[in-house]
Structure 1
Amino acid sequence: MTRTQLDRLAQLVNIDVDSVNPDDAKALPFKPFNQTSNQAVMYTAMCDPRNKADYERLVKKYGNKGWQEVWDRFSVQLCKNNIDNVSNRVLVQVSPRNCYDRQAVLDQCYNFDKAFAEVGIGRDRYAIKISTVGPAMSAAAQLNKEGIRTLGTSLFGLPQAIAASQARCLYISPYFNEVRAYSDKSLWPDVEDPAINHPMAPRLIHILETYTKLHEQTGEEQPVIVMASHANLNELFATAELGVQHSTILGNHLAELAKAPDTLPEVTFTKPKHPYKDRVTPARFSKHSTSDPLAGPEWDGKFASTEIDYIANNGENLTKAIKADPVVTSKIKDVLDIFHENEEKAREMIEKSIKELS
C-alpha cells in the first residue's frame, strides 16, 4: 500500500478531526484523537439530510424552550453520533454572542454538561470550546475547577495563552490562519516555508516556550496545543515541525492528505512524548524566540508576563492586552463574526422549524 502524507503527518502530530460527519472520521486508517467543531461545522451538519431525523426530533422535543436549546441539544447529539469514532473527546463551542458575558458562558456550559450527561457522555469524554477573551476565560477558570474541561479557542497571542493556562484549560487552539473554509477574507501570506516565514510562527514558539517554562517551574500540566485553521497541507507540516501536539483538520484536508503520496523529504523531528517536558526550541527557530513580526514597529521587545493575572476581575487584564494588540483584536472579530453569521443562519432555520413542527 502506498504511504500517504496522512501516514506521515500522523507520525508527527496527533490528528483531531474538525468535523461532526462520522464518515470523515471513519475514512481515516486510525481513530482521530478528538472531534472538534464550531458554529460553521454544526450549521453545515444541520443542513445535511443525513441529520434530518435527529434535527426534527429535537425541534419537536425542545422547541418550546427556544432555538438556543435546540441548537445546543443538536450539537451534543451530533457528538453522540460520532463519539465511537474518536479515541478521546468530542467538543462543542460556546456561542459567539455569549463570550463577553461571563454568566452567559457559564449558563451555556452548564446546559451542555446536562445535555451530555443525558445522552450518556461523561465529563472525561467531552470538552467545551470557549473563546479566549477576558470574561470567557474567567468563566473557564470556574468550569475547569468544577471538572467541566475547556479549550481556549480563537487564540492569536501570548497573553491569551497565559490566560488559558491560568484558567486551567485542558487545550488551546491557536489559529495559524483565518477560518479559510468559511471566509472570503484575505489570508495571511502563503509562504514557501511557513515554519520560518509565516507571521504566526514566532507567536507559536512564544506559547510553546512559555508553557515549557511554566511546566518546569510549577510541575503543573499546561494546556495541550490543538493547532487550528491551516490554509493548506504545507502549513499542517509546518506547525507539526514547530512543535504542536495536535492538529485539528477539516474533512477536505484529511481527504487531500489521504490521496497525496508521501514524497516529502525525511525530517529530523519526532512527535514529542510529552508536550513540554524537556522541550527545547530547535535551532532552526531560534530567531522566533525574540521576534514578533505581528507586533508592529512600536513593539518594545518585551513579551507578556506570566506574573500578570489575566483572569481576575472578569478577565480585565486579558481584555486590556487584547485591545493593545491590533492583530489579535482584528482576528478575534473576524473569527467571531464568521461564527455569529453561521449561528444566525441556524437560528433562522430552527425558528422556522419550530413554527412548522412544534
Structure 2
Amino acid sequence: MTSKLEQLREMTVVVADTGDIEAVRRLKPVDCTTNPTLVLKAVGLPLFAEKLDEAVSWGRSQSMDGGERVAAVADRLAVSVGAALSELVPGRVSTEVDADLSFDTERSLEKARGIIAAYEERGVGRDRILVKLAATWEGIRAAEILQREGIDCNLTLIFNEAQAIACADAGVFLISPFVGRILDWHVKQSGKSFTPDEDPGVQSVRSIYRYFKAHDIKTVVMGASFRSAGEVEALAGCDRLTISPALLEELDKDQGTLERKLSPDMGGETPERRHYDEKSFRWAMNEDPMATEKLAEGIRSFNGDLIKLRTLVAERLA
C-alpha cells in the first residue's frame, strides 16, 4: 500500500509551503511557496547563515540610504532563499511582493520586475518563478500587466470567489485560496466544529475549482493554508495544493486509501459566468465580512513579518 502522500501526487501537484531546505529535500515537492513569515524562519536556520552574511556584506557595499539599504538586503535574502529552493524542486518557487505594497499597483510592478531581475542574475529564469501578490484590486491589476510581460503570478490571500474570478479575468497563472484561515473565522464566529466536507474553507476551494473547470478557465487553483490533513484529503484532485512539512509528513505516514474529491469532469449544473469591475469587486468584498477581515489580517500579518525581517537586517548592518 502506498502512502496518502504518494496517492495525492498521482492526482494533484504537491507544493511545499516552507523555506526549510531539509524538509524540501526530504519530501520532494514539485513546487515551493514562500512568504515573509517563511523567509524569516528560513534565515534563522544555520543553513542560511552564510547567505545572510553575504546579503549583509552586499548591502554595506551599496550606495543607498538606510531604509533603502535595509529593504534591498531583505529582498536579496528572499531571493537567496528562493534560489536555494529552486535547486531542489523541478517546478516553480513563489516569491512575494512586499505586503505594504498591496494597494499600490505601480510600486508592486516595480518590485515584481526587480524580483525577476534578481533571480535572472542568479541564473534562475522567470519560467521557474511565480511572483506572489495579495489579491487586492490593485494587486490583481499589477498581475494583469505582469502576465502580459511574461511574468507568471501567484495571487494569494483569496477568501472570496470574486477575487478568484477577477484573477481569472486578468489572466493570472495561479491563485491561492486560503482554506484554514476561512475555517478559523467560521469557528470563531460560530463556536462550531466542522468535518472536512463541511469545512467552509474546503467548500470555498471546491466552488472555485468547479467554476473554473466549468468555464474552461486555465488559471491554476492551488489550495493553501491547511489546518489538518483532513482538509488536504478533502481537496484531493485539486490542481495544486501547498502543504506544510508537518502535514506532508503526516500524509506520508498514513497508509490508508485516498479518495479523489475533485476532477475536471465533475459534471453538475454549470455556474453562471460572472465578471467584476472595480465597483462590483469592492462591493462583493464589502458584503463578505470574513473575506474583508481575513484579507486585511493576512496583509497585516505578512507585513509584520516583513518588518521583523527588515529589523533583523538593520541590526546586522549596524
- TM-score normalised per structure 2: 0.89
Summarize the alignment of residues 167-316 of structure 1 with structure 2, pairs less than 5 Å apart: 167-178=170-181, 190-192=193-195, 194-195=196-197, 197-215=198-216, 221-240=217-236, 243-258=237-252, 260-264=253-257, 267=259, 269=260, 272=263, 276=264, 279-281=265-267, 306-309=274-277, 315-316=278-279
Query: Which segments of 5 or more consecutive residues in structure 1 lack a partner in the other structure?
Result: 216-220, 291-302, 310-314
Contact 1:15–1:248, Cα closer than 8 Å, also in 2: yes
Counterpart secondary structure, 2:125? coil
Q: Distance in 2 between matches of 1:44 and 1:179?
A: 24
Deviation at 1:107, TM superposition (A): 1.2
Aligned residues between the structures: 310
Q: Distance in 2 between matches of 1:135 and 1:118?
A: 28
Q: Distance in 2 between matches of 1:190 and 1:25?
A: 32
Q: Distance in 1 between matches of 2:101 and 2:43?
A: 21
Q: Distance in 2 between matches of 1:136 and 1:226?
A: 18
For residue 31 of structure 2, what is the aligned residue in structure 1? 34
1:258-315 CA distances to partner (integer Å, 9 max, x unpaired)?
2x23134x63x3875xxx4xx2247xxx8xx99xxxxxxxxxxxx8x52333xxxxx4
For residue 316 of structure 2, what is the aligned residue in structure 1? 353
RMSD: 2.6
Q: Distance in 2 between matches of 1:179 and 1:156?
A: 7
Residue number among 163, 166, 189 corresponding to 2:166 in the alignment: 163
For residue 20 of structure 2, what is the aligned residue in structure 1? 21
Contact 1:12–1:271, Cα closer than 8 Å, also in 2: no
For residue 293 of structure 1, what is the aligned residue in structure 2? none
Paired residue type of 2:176: S
Q: Distance in 2 between matches of 1:39 and 1:118?
A: 21
Q: Distance in 2 between matches of 1:187 and 1:353?
A: 42
- TM-score normalised per structure 1: 0.79
* Structure 1 residue 104 corresponds to structure 2 residue 98: no
Q: Distance in 1 between matches of 2:288 and 2:20?
A: 36
Query: Which segments of 5 or more consecutive residues in structure 2 lack a partner in the other structure?
Result: none
Deviation at 1:134, TM superposition (A): 0.5
Summarize the alignment of residues 149-160 of structure 1 with structure 2, pairs less than 5 Å apart: 149-160=152-163
Deviation larger for 137-146 or 221-230: 221-230
Deviation larger for 55-64 or 225-234: 55-64
Deviation at 1:83, TM superposition (A): 1.1
Q: Distance in 2 between matches of 1:5 and 1:211?
A: 26
Paired residue type of 1:209: R
Deviation at 1:90, TM superposition (A): 0.9
Deviation at 1:179, TM superposition (A): 9.4
1:319-353 CA distances to partner (integer Å, 9 max, x unpaired)?
33222221100111222222122111111111111
> CA 1:251–1:117 in structure 2 vs 1: closer, same or farther (change >3 Å)?
same
Q: Distance in 2 between matches of 1:145 and 1:307?
A: 20
Paired residue type of 1:256: E
Summarize the alignment of residues 1-12 of structure 1 with structure 2, pairs less than 5 Å apart: 3-12=2-11
Contact 1:133–1:318, Cα closer than 8 Å, also in 2: no
1:162-221 CA distances to partner (integer Å, 9 max, x unpaired)?
1111221111110111299xxxx95985423x12x1123332233123212331xxxxx5
Contact 1:97–1:340, Cα closer than 8 Å, also in 2: yes
Q: Distance in 1 between matches of 2:71 and 2:45?
A: 19
Deviation at 1:55, TM superposition (A): 0.9
Deviation at 1:316, TM superposition (A): 4.8
Paired residue type of 2:291: V
Contact 1:154–1:174, Cα closer than 8 Å, also in 2: yes
> CA 1:190–1:231 in structure 2 vs 1: closer, same or farther (change >3 Å)?
farther
For residue 294 of structure 1, what is the aligned residue in structure 2? none
Q: Distance in 2 between matches of 1:332 and 1:19?
A: 21
* Structure 1 residue 130 corresponds to structure 2 residue 133: yes
Paired residue type of 1:114: A
Q: Distance in 2 between matches of 1:109 and 1:316?
A: 26
> CA 1:186–1:74 in structure 2 vs 1: closer, same or farther (change >3 Å)?
farther
